[in-house]
Amino acid sequence: MPFTINHIVAMAENRVIGRAGGMPWHIPEDFKFFKATTMGHAMIMGRKTWNSIGRQLPGRLTIVITRNQNFEAPAGVIVKSTLEDAVTYCRDHQSQWGSDCFIVGGGELYKQSMTIVDRIYLTLIHKSIDGDTLYPDVPVSVFEKVKDEQHLDAPIPYSFTTWDRTLK
Tens of pLDDT, residue by residue over 122-143, are 999 999 999 999 999 999 999 9
| Alpha-carbon Rg for the chain in angstroms | 15
Residue 40 and residue 100 in contact, taking contact as beta carbons nearer than 8 Å: no
Which residues form the domain of 57?
Answer: 4-165
More confident residue, 64 or 69: 64
Who contacts 95 (Cβ-Cβ below 8 Å, separation ≥6)? Answer: none
Q: Per the structure, how many domains does the chain have? A: 1
164 vs 166: CA distance, rounded Å = 6
Give the model's pLDDT for residue 167: 78
Q: What is the mean pLDDT of residues 22-35?
A: 96
Give the model's pLDDT for residue 56: 94
SS3 11: strand
Nearest partner of 98 among 134, 124, 131, 59, judged by Cα? 59
Percent of all residues in the chain with a pLDDT value above 90, rounded to a whole number: 95
CA dist 59 → 38, 39, 41, 166 (Å)? 9, 6, 8, 31
Percent of all residues in the chain with a pLDDT value above 70, rounded to a whole number: 99
pLDDT at 168 over 90: no
Give the model's pLDDT for residue 1: 75
pLDDT band at 151 (very low <50, low <70, confident <90, very high): very high
14 vs 54: CA distance, rounded Å = 26
Burial 131-167 (b: 16+ CB within 10 A, else e): bebbbbebeeeebeeeeeeebeeeeeebbbbbbebee
Largest CA distance in the chain: 47
Q: What is the CATH number of the domain that holds 38?
A: 3.40.430.10
pLDDT band at 11 (very low <50, low <70, confident <90, very high): very high
pLDDT averaged over every residue in the chain: 96
Q: What is the mean pLDDT of residues 22-29?
A: 94
Tens of pLDDT, residue by residue over 92-128, are 999 999 999 999 999 999 999 999 999 999 999 999 9
